[in-house]
Amino acid sequence: MAIDLHKYANPKRFLAITAAIYPWSVWLTVLLLVSGLYLSLFVAPPDYQQGDTVRIMFVHVPAAWMALMIYTMMAVSSAVGLIWKHPVADLTAKAAAPIGACFTFLALVTGSLWGQPMWGTFWVWDARLTSMLILFFLYLGYMAVWESFDDPAKAAKAAAILALVGVVNVPIIRFSVDWWNTLHQPASVATMSGPKIHSSILIPLLVMGLAYTAFFVMVLIIRVKAEILQRRLRVLQVSELRER
Amino acid sequence: MKRFFRLILRDLTLAARQGSAVTLSLSFFVIVVVLFPLGVGPELSVLARIGPGVLWVAALLSCLLTLDRMFQADFEDGSLDLLMIGPLPTEMIVLAKVIAHWLTSILPLIVIAPILALSLSIPGDGVLALTTALLVGTPTLSLIGAVGAALTMGMRRGGVLLSLLVLPLYIPVLIFGVAAVDAAIALLPMTPHLLLLGGVSLGALVVGPVAAAAALRLSLS
């Protein structure tokens, strides 16, 4: 395991491997997104209560999945970067953060767009909404740490420490917000849980989830590549300045 | 161990001789609480309803106010470097700083909180619960805050970043703390909430010093 990690930590090899994966991820994203959108917007039946509004869910739920998954991934790669000092792992965590923040934002926006016709208001202090909002702030804090250090090596370590403290806290926050919600308001809001999800809805949902994942891989590869190139450029510029 | 207590004593002496830090965070706490009746109106029923939350939020904010000084002064005059070179492990330095911070800037708030709670017409059971909950829960604020303070140490606009980093992590304490007081007011058992608060505090006791020490080593390297 450790040996494998070291092998992939070499930026050059990393770039070579991702260059091979990249076209596949693009095609997979296009294919899955088109078929997922078709399935969810045209094939899936409208809900008997919510009508066509239920289709927002196919955009919303995978975004929420991705928001949590990306934070976990960030924490894992931060830990790898902190323990084995692999710069690529740090850069991956850095590159993933804005994507995760965007997915969190998407989940929040689509959630409130769904809430307007369903609950009659754009925002409800529901446990899920609140904990997603807090997750958004965690992403913002993580990105702010990266920007407030001049030295990228220091920034990487500081951000990694923050991500790890954050990931310990995420379940606690989630639990406490659930607890707070059940104390302060009765469960009048969570109408999502109805009968078990039927396969006609589950399949588009899963396809959309996979499409989002492929999209994430695609954007992540672009961003990590940009980070690596930026760092090389920096090294080149510094050495050029020294030669003068 | 002797060095550990000596360090706490040193920080306490420094705080006592400077004097202003304790009174400043205390007056901030009182002013924030006083602003709420002015903002929402003087009806006692409303104030009693929002009182526990107001006091907890005010405690969080005034803790945040003194947090950025936790390592900053020692960092600027170089004594932090000496401490880190010394034989005391960095984790213990952090813990000593946390204890000193809690004693100087949070304990005074807990002492005055019952009076403010009575002025917000929180019933007697609630006042007792509030004090207990503050005692059990606030160590977490100092412990998690130490991580943020160590990370933002030496930054140009550390204070603003500190609040963005630390406040989301304070949410569980706020929720359980207010829940304990609300339960006591409603004559429900408050022990589960206090146990959860204690659990969060113990967890922070494990994670906080280690993470803050790592951040300190990073900032001084």
DSSP letters, A155-174, are HHHHHHHHHHHHHHHHHHHH
Place of tokens 């492929």: A214
Please check whether residue B144 touches A, CB under 8 A.
yes
For residue A2, pLDDT beyond 60 = no
CA-CA-CA-CA dihedral for B42, B47, B51, B54, to nearest 10: -50
A186 has a pLDDT exceeding 60: no
Query: Highest mean pLDDT range out of A8-22, A126-140, B125-139?
Result: B125-139
Digit-coded pLDDT (tens) for A151-177? 888 888 888 888 888 888 888 877 777
Closest-CA residue to B62 (of B22, B34, B99): B22
CA A134, CA B203: separation in Å to the nearest integer? Answer: 20
CA distance linking residue A233 with residue A220, whole number of Å? 20
Q: Cβ neighbours of residue A70 under 8 Å, at least 6 residues apart?
A: A96, A97, A99, A100, A103, A216
Who among A161, A173, A175 is closest to B214 (CB)?
A161
| CA nearest neighbour of A142 among B178, B165, B150, B218 | B165
Please judge whether A144 and B171 are an interchain contact, meaning their C-beta atoms are less than 8 angstroms apart.
no
pLDDT of residue B99: 92
pLDDT value at A194 more than 50 = no
Question: Tell me, what's the pLDDT at A99?
Answer: 92
Q: Stretch B4-19: mean pLDDT, rounded? A: 84
pLDDT the model gives residue B143: 92
Q: Which of B168, B203, B215 sits opposite A158 (nearest CB)?
A: B215
Put simply, the answer to whether B171 touches A166 (Cβ < 8 Å) is no
The span from the CA of A47 to the CA of B179, in Å, is 37
Nearest residue of chain A to residue B171 (CA atoms) = A173
Angstrom CA distances, B151 to A70, A140, B97, B218, stand at 23, 15, 15, 8
Query: In whole angstroms, how far apart are CA A92 and each of A75, A82, B192?
Result: 10, 13, 41
- The three-state secondary structure class of A51 is strand
d(CA A238, CA B11): 43
Query: What's the rounded Cα separation, in Å, for the pair B55 and B42?
Result: 16
Instruction: Give the DSSP letter of residue A188.
Output: -
* pLDDT tier for residue A7 given thresholds of 50, 70 and 90: low
Contacts of A6 (CB under 8 A, 6+ apart): A84, A86
CB A103 within 8 A of CB A67: yes
B155 in contact with A, Cβ within 8 Å? yes
User: How many Cβ pairs within 8 Å bridge chains A and B?
Assistant: 77
**What pLDDT shows up at residue A184?**
55
Where residue A23 falls among pLDDT bands split at 50, 70, 90? confident
Instruction: Enter the pTM of the model.
Output: 0.82
Q: Note whether A138 contacts B168, CB cutoff 8 Å.
A: yes
Give the CA dihedral A80, A81, A86, A89, nearest 10 degrees: 80
Q: How far apart are CA A225 and CA A70, in angstroms?
A: 18
Q: Which residues contact A91 (CB under 8 A, 6 or more apart)?
A: A156, A224, A227, A228, A231
pLDDT at A5 over 70: no
The interface residues of chain A toward chain B in range 39-78, judged by CB-CB distance below 8 A, are: none
Q: Going by C-beta distance under 8 Å and a sequence separation of 6 or more, which residues neighbour residue A108?
A: A129, A132, A133, A136
What is the rounded distance in angstroms from the CA atom of residue B182 to the CA atom of residue B51? Answer: 10
Q: Do B169 and A140 touch (CB under 8 A)?
A: no
The residue among B61, B95, B51, B48 whose CA lies nearest residue B205 is B95
Q: Between A140, A165, A176, which is nearest B164 by CB?
A: A140
Tell me which of A6-10, A27-31, B87-91 is least confident. Answer: A6-10
Tell me the C-alpha distance between A209 and A37, whole Å. Answer: 11
Q: Identify the pLDDT of residue A189.
A: 41
Distance of residue A229 Cα from the nearest chain B Cα, in angstroms: 25
Q: Beta partners for A47?
A: A51
The pLDDT of residue A198 is 65
Amino acid at A235: V
Query: Six-digit token pair at B29?
Result: 């706490």
Amino acid in position B65: L
Q: Coil, strand, or helix at residue B146?
A: helix
- pLDDT tens-place string over residues B121-174: 888 888 888 898 999 989 999 999 999 898 888 777 777 888 888 888 888 888
